């Protein structure tokens, strides 16, 4: 603490930084909550935070994510333990357990086109309750939704998504929660980070505040409440090799 005339300057304390993935979720998780999860396929998923969420035992979750992981990784771990009641997703084709639960009416599914899902997350984070889009008009996606005509074309109303908790994965973050993503991991993580009432990030590299180039930051720390450094275990959904 340093005095400056009648002002007091208190150095920033890294209160956002947690020692483990489990610690980052302490006091944030409860049954029936809505959780938004970043990632595209298995790329950029908050893998250790998903494991920590599983270990809380929270159930009846509504999970918003581009995908449902695979049977033994990502959100597939929460499907194995039957902790997810409803999925809001755009691609679920890599998970046999997801298919089994959905086909047997054990799991509720709200299919959302990929671009629409990204915009619903962004809108929720920006305080926009809804928007009109042409995507899905004339399909099952439009059933039960308000239709409106603009300039001679039909549009449907999509609602912004606001989550109780957002889980994201970044390549690098600083102690203030500023985040930088790499390549495909940037597809959904930035929007997911915006829409949560509480947002938790896991990062591969954690640096002191001030070390990141401000022009390179994708998610400002104002959106991030807690951050933890983890070791990444990168898996591939489908590996295809060509013999020589």
pLDDT per residue as tens, the chain (244 positions): 444 455 544 445 468 999 999 999 999 999 999 999 999 988 999 999 999 999 999 999 999 999 888 888 999 999 999 999 999 999 877 788 988 999 999 999 999 999 999 999 999 999 999 999 999 999 999 999 999 999 999 999 999 999 999 999 999 999 999 999 999 999 999 999 999 999 999 999 999 999 999 999 999 999 999 999 998 777 666 667 777 6
d(CA 186, CA 219): 10
Judge whether 47 and 169 are in contact, CB under 8 Å: yes
d(CA 236, CA 50): 17
* CA proximity to 200, closest of 177, 218, 184: 177
d(CA 173, CA 179): 4
* CA proximity to 64, closest of 99, 34, 93, 28: 34
d(CA 79, CA 85): 9
CA-based torsion, 151, 149, 110, 100: positive or negative: negative
Query: The tokens of 178 are what?
Result: 């500023």
CB atoms within 10 A of CB 30: 13
Sorted by where each starts, the structural domains of the chain and their CATH numbers stand as 23-130+160-229 (3.40.1080.10)
Alpha helices in the chain (DSSP H): 21-24, 47-56, 76-80, 96-103, 114-126, 189-195
Question: 148-187 b/e with 16+ CB inside 10 Å = b?
Answer: eeeeeeebbebebbbbbbbbbbbbbbbbbbbbbbeeebbb
Q: What pTM does this model have?
A: 0.89
């Amino acid at each position: 603490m340093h005095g400056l005339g009648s002002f007091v300057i208190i150095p920033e304390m890294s209160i956002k930084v947690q020692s483990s993935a489990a610690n980052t979720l302490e006091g944030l998780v409860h049954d029936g909550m809505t959780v938004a999860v970043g990632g595209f396929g298995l790329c950029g998923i908050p893998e250790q935070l998903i494991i920590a969420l599983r270990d809380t035992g929270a159930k009846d979750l509504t999970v918003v994510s581009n995908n449902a992981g695979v049977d033994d990784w990502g959100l597939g771990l929460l499907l194995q333990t039957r902790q997810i009641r409803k999925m809001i997703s755009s691609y679920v084709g890599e998970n046999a357990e997801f298919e089994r639960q959905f086909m047997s009416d054990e799991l509720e599914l709200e299919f959302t086109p990929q671009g629409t899902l990204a915009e619903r997350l962004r809108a929720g984070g920006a305080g926009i309750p809804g928007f009109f889009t042409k995507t899905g008009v004339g399909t099952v996606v439009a059933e039960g939704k308000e239709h409106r005509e603009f300039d001679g074309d039909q549009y449907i109303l999509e609602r912004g998504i606001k989550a109780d908790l957002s889980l994201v994965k970044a390549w690098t973050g600083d102690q203030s929660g500023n985040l930088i993503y790499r390549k495909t991991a940037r597809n959904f993580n930035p929007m997911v980070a915006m829409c949560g009432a509480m947002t938790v990030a896991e990062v591969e590299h954690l640096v002191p505040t001030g070390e990141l180039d401000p022009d390179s930051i994708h998610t400002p720390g104002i959106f991030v409440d807690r951050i933890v450094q983890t070791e990444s275990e990168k898996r591939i959904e489908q590996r295809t090799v060509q013999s020589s």
